[in-house]
Chains A and B, each alone.
Chain A
């Protein structure tokens, strides 16, 4: 009993310990100005400098604006991508003619990196806010779309046959069977999409200069304030991790029947 209790405490400490070790390694490498030949830490800011930079940012009234602007963009881009990605994914996964019509242009668009969309998005959207949301949308769309399609393909045809034999009408099949059956896969797509959304934030906020964590990071680069860059990077990492965890929680609450890695 005690051994088990100790083990679980150790387990809980492990993630913190691992983060701590990373910071210590970073501190040692940067303060010793280590040069490993292939990679050098000579110009890398030290953790303490980053802490000071972060403290300055947290004191600044601009922090709220930065956070608000970025959260708004990510949320808008993600929500549009989720609605479109899941909707299109259901139709593409279910109907061959939709698949044959829509997949070729989507397959061409998929490998284009978000940064390459910047000029076009500036040309296409009258407001820079619109173009920034578009960039985060592009980042989130494909993981959501592809995972939804994958989920629909994985639906057991006998499940659909059973539902039809129980009196489900043709269109009700989507809401009653396909969407819930594909839900675990859709959630995976949403979770990856949330990550790529944050991933594209710096790219998106390169477009316009006033507020946003991505903008803050990019601006710090242009003025060569390296500690601030790392603050921006860490903020994006933490926000991305937090929103993914939130999504995971929501998924578990919505799908109490689903336990990844096997049936209960």
Chain B
């Protein structure tokens, strides 16, 4: 919470986007394969805070994100946004995956305008807003391209514009830059921070990259695997905007060393099959159906 106080004074005041994760457990799989993906996690996230979930694969960070998005129902406990229980997916909680989740059959502009279309906004207004957002993410001139014609980094820019056009209170990101090369990744991190500082919304950002977490976050929640739980909370002691000095300073190195030690703990690095928390069997309301 201290991180909020250290935010730049230029940042707009935000009053919405408070997330409460209240003693949440999530079990996935069915029968003998059933396991606890998330065990008794409690976290409160302040409006406008940038939180990174950091951990090895299988630690339940994507599961927690899926639950916040409303695609998974907790087995126990409750998730709330601004006091209201989270019941299902909603544009108020925008979700960005790692890659290839743009609609390949829609042009870049129609992808960005998709959420507005679902809300029944007229065509002219939709297109105008989509163009504004494309400009914002630096993709002016690409509006008529199909996603397949764009590079990975450009696709992620479209993803971000597609979610932010709905003016979400919360931005949920599941390793959004994990498939990009180092330089593109750095540019995307800066773009996201710039967008976030302009219209401050709550961000929950899943990553397994320590540098990324330390560069982006106000607060890092380090998670461990099976059962997934939060083992440590790190408040990043750096101001905004983040500078290259922070990235090369001794405090950064110290924090990085600490995170590495946490993630290297042999108890945390059990080799596990990769599971997707979001499963094709989405017809079922039973959370178990998401796990096979």
Q: Which residues of A contact B (CB under 8 A)?
A: 94-96, 153, 155-169, 172, 177, 180-181, 183, 255-259, 263-264
A167–B88 Cα distance when bound, in Å, is 10
Please give, as numbers and ranges, the residues of chain B lying within 8 Å of A162 by CB-CB distance: 95, 97, 101
Majority secondary structure, A binding face: helix
A167 adjacent to B91 (CB under 8 Å): yes
B282 adjacent to A160 (CB under 8 Å): yes
Q: Which of A153, A167, A172 is B280 in contact with, Cβ under 8 Å?
A: A153
A231–B279 Cα distance when bound, in Å, is 53
B101 adjacent to A257 (CB under 8 Å): no
Binds A, one of B24-32, B112-120, B176-184: B112-120
CB distance from B13 to the nearest CB of A (A): 26
Interface residue? B148 (CB, 8 A)? yes
Please give, as numbers and ranges, the residues of chain A lying within 8 Å of B60 by CB-CB distance: none
Interface residue? B245 (CB, 8 A)? no
CB distance from B290 to the nearest CB of A (A): 9
11 contacts between A and B (CB under 8 A): A95-B283, A156-B101, A158-B278, A160-B280, A161-B71, A164-B71, A167-B115, A167-B118, A181-B104, A257-B146, A257-B148
Interface residue? B54 (CB, 8 A)? no
Q: Which of B146, B147, B162 is A166 in contact with, Cβ under 8 Å?
A: B162
A27–B141 Cα distance when bound, in Å, is 60
**A164-B70, A167-B166 are known contacts; what are 20 more A-B pairs with Cβ within 8 Å?**
A96-B284, A156-B100, A156-B101, A158-B97, A158-B100, A158-B101, A158-B278, A159-B103, A161-B101, A161-B278, A161-B282, A162-B101, A165-B70, A166-B91, A166-B162, A167-B119, A168-B118, A169-B118, A257-B147, A258-B104
A166 adjacent to B114 (CB under 8 Å): yes
Most buried by B among A156, A165, A169: A165
How many residue pairs link A and B with beta carbons under 8 A? The number is 88
Please give, as numbers and ranges, the residues of chain A lying within 8 Å of B126 by CB-CB distance: none
Please give, as numbers and ranges, the residues of chain A lying within 8 Å of B119 by CB-CB distance: 167
A263 adjacent to B148 (CB under 8 Å): yes
CB distance from A121 to the nearest CB of B (A): 35
A166 adjacent to B115 (CB under 8 Å): yes
A157 adjacent to B95 (CB under 8 Å): no
- Take A157-B276, A161-B278 as given contacts and tell me if A257 and B94 are in contact as well, using a CB distance cutoff of 8 Å: no
Please give, as numbers and ranges, the residues of chain B lying within 8 Å of A158 by CB-CB distance: 97, 100-101, 276, 278
CB distance from B137 to the nearest CB of A (A): 16
A136–B209 Cα distance when bound, in Å, is 58
A84–B90 Cα distance when bound, in Å, is 33
Q: Which residues of B contact A (CB under 8 A)?
A: 66, 69-71, 88-91, 93-95, 97, 100-101, 103-105, 114-115, 118-119, 146-149, 162-163, 166, 276, 278-284
CB distance from B285 to the nearest CB of A (A): 11
CB distance from B171 to the nearest CB of A (A): 11
| B168 nearest in chain A by CB position | A165
B148 adjacent to A166 (CB under 8 Å): no
Q: Which of B69, B88, B147, B282 is A157 in contact with, Cβ under 8 Å?
A: B282
CB distance from A153 to the nearest CB of B (A): 7
| A94 nearest in chain B by CB position | B283
CB distance from B96 to the nearest CB of A (A): 8
B283 adjacent to A180 (CB under 8 Å): no
CB distance from B17 to the nearest CB of A (A): 16
Please give, as numbers and ranges, the residues of chain B lying within 8 Å of A160 by CB-CB distance: 280, 282
Please give, as numbers and ranges, the residues of chain B lying within 8 Å of A263 by CB-CB distance: 148
A157–B93 Cα distance when bound, in Å, is 18
A161 adjacent to B103 (CB under 8 Å): no
A163–B66 Cα distance when bound, in Å, is 14
A258–B105 Cα distance when bound, in Å, is 8
B283 adjacent to A96 (CB under 8 Å): yes
B89 adjacent to A164 (CB under 8 Å): yes
Name the 10 nearest CB pairs between A and B, nearest first.
Answer: A167-B118, A164-B89, A165-B95, A257-B146, A167-B91, A180-B105, A263-B148, A162-B101, A166-B115, A165-B89
Please give, as numbers and ranges, the residues of chain A lying within 8 Å of B69 by CB-CB distance: 161, 165
B89 adjacent to A161 (CB under 8 Å): yes
| B98 nearest in chain A by CB position | A158
A95–B97 Cα distance when bound, in Å, is 25
Please give, as numbers and ranges, the residues of chain A lying within 8 Å of B279 by CB-CB distance: 157
A83–B103 Cα distance when bound, in Å, is 24
| A257 nearest in chain B by CB position | B146
B149 adjacent to A166 (CB under 8 Å): no
A172–B117 Cα distance when bound, in Å, is 12
CB distance from B276 to the nearest CB of A (A): 7
A183 adjacent to B148 (CB under 8 Å): no
B103 adjacent to A177 (CB under 8 Å): yes
Please give, as numbers and ranges, the residues of chain A lying within 8 Å of B162 by CB-CB distance: 166
B278 adjacent to A264 (CB under 8 Å): no
Please give, as numbers and ranges, the residues of chain A lying within 8 Å of B280 by CB-CB distance: 153, 155, 157, 160
